[in-house]
Amino acid sequence: MGVPINIHTTLGFLSHAVVLCSILYGAGCMQGWFYYRKYGQRDPWAIQALVAAVLICDTCQIGFLYAAVYDYTVTNQGNPSALRNLSPNLIIELIFSGFIAFLVQHFYCYRVFALSKNWVFAAFISLTSLGSLLTLYYFVGVALSQYTELVQLVFLDNVSIVTNVLGITCDICITSLMIYLLQKSKTGFKRSTDVLNRLIIFTFNTGIPTSLCSIVTLILLEGAPGTFIYIFIYVSMARFYTNCLLVTLNSRDYIRQGFRSDNLGTDETFAMSIPVESRVEFAGVTSTTEGITISMDRDFPGTKGREKDSI
């Protein structure tokens, strides 16, 4: 038995989407404020521009989503037949949603390349991300130019499936490759291993939400056609991309705390960078592996001078 098409599975879930997106949008704005307050003078302009672009697109998307709900609930109040109509605002917001995913995926694509120095990995991630964006924009163009009723979107189901499959592939590749490369960068020294373990956990946690959203959207697209249930999940996905990006950027000081220990010294300075190589100098022994570069200078109580671990 299929999911019934009524006001609860259409307008109801669209309203739920606005509530969820508003909560996540608020969290994203708070993360953005924290980012510029803490890292505004430290990060290169490209990263700051990326964050600004993502937040602007986030604002535009939620604005068009609210306008779509306004069309159905206020403009057409008391007109149940209007639920069959396709609000252009509901389609336009996908432009910003797709662009957010594209920007964030390419930020992670750069991280993969920085760690691996492998053009094949980076090119595959970039092409799947671009393919997902282009198929989504094809969906938007056809829907806006040819369709006026929601039921007509069923003709674009195959395009939606391709868009989501490419998005899932991109996100899973990013997460898997990052975990593999970070795991490969481990040198056996406790403090560097602690930092890399934190990075692996963050990579996994920030990759899962968007991948799950795409998978659930695919399932609902086939299981509940003609309703807004899948839209409830899909329009929330851009918020997860935004928040995952900002959490990744804002968690860098927490990651560095993996080196800190109360009994190691009185003066510690830390620098973390990506990529080139992982190099460890400890007790006269040097170990080098590809991956992440972390430098640590510290003073030990009762010793003269400074000992330096470069990881």
- Per-residue pLDDT at 145: 92
Supply the pLDDT for residue 4.
65
Average pLDDT over residues 215-231: 78
Do 143 and 271 fall into the same domain?
Answer: no
One domain for residues 153 and 288 = no
Residue 3 lies in a domain: no
Q: Within a 13 Å sphere around the CA of 80, how many CA atoms are in the beta-carbon half?
A: 4
Sheet of strand 293-298, all strands in order from the earlier edge strand to the far edge: 268-273, 293-298, 307-310
Q: Coil, strand or helix: which one is 289?
A: strand
Q: What is the DSSP string of 76-89?
A: TTT-GGGGGB--HH
Q: Which amino acid is at 257?
A: Q
Tell how far CA 180 is from the center of its chain: 19
Instruction: Answer for the pair 253, 43: CB distance below 8 angstroms, yes or no.
Output: no
Distance CA 130, CA 141 (A): 16
Q: Does residue 197 share a domain with residue 58?
A: yes
210 and 173 share a domain? yes
pLDDT tier at 48 (50, 70, 90 boundaries)?
A: very high
> 298: which DSSP letter?
E
Q: pLDDT by residue (tens digit) across 139-170?
A: 999 999 998 887 788 788 889 889 989 999 99
How many domains would you assign to the chain? Answer: 2
Domain extent, residue 148, equals: 8-257
Same domain assignment for residues 275 and 252: no
Q: Which of 237, 257, 277 is the last residue of a domain?
A: 257
Res 259: pLDDT: 55
Q: What is the CATH number of the domain that holds 31?
A: 1.20.1070
How far, CA to CA in Å, does 311 sit from each of 62, 112, 280, 285, 293? 42, 18, 5, 12, 5
Q: Are residues 220 and 306 in the same domain?
A: no
Q: Same structural domain for residues 292 and 155?
A: no
Predicted pLDDT of residue 253: 78
Q: Which residues pair with 282 in a beta bridge?
A: 285
Q: Tell me: do 187 and 284 sit in the same domain.
A: no
Q: Are residues 250 and 269 in the same domain?
A: no
Kindly state whether residues 47 and 116 are assigned to the same domain: yes
Amino acid, res. 125: I
pLDDT tens for 55-81 read 999 999 999 999 998 988 888 877 777
- At 275, the pLDDT band (50, 70, 90 cuts) reads very low
| Residue 280 CB contacts under 8 Å (≥ 6 apart), including other chains | 187, 189, 192, 286, 287, 288, 309, 310, 311
Is there a single domain that holds both residue 56 and residue 88? yes
**Per-residue pLDDT, 92:** 94
Q: Does residue 57 sit in the same domain as residue 177?
A: yes
Where among 242, 257, 272 does a domain terminate? 257
Chain position carrying tokens 């993969």: 112
**How far apart are alpha carbons 116 and 150 in whole angstroms?**
45
Higher pLDDT, 292 or 185: 185
CA angle 225, 230, 234 (to 5 degrees): 145
Tokens of 112: 């993969």
pLDDT value of position 266? 34
Residue tagged 């306004």 (tokens): 70
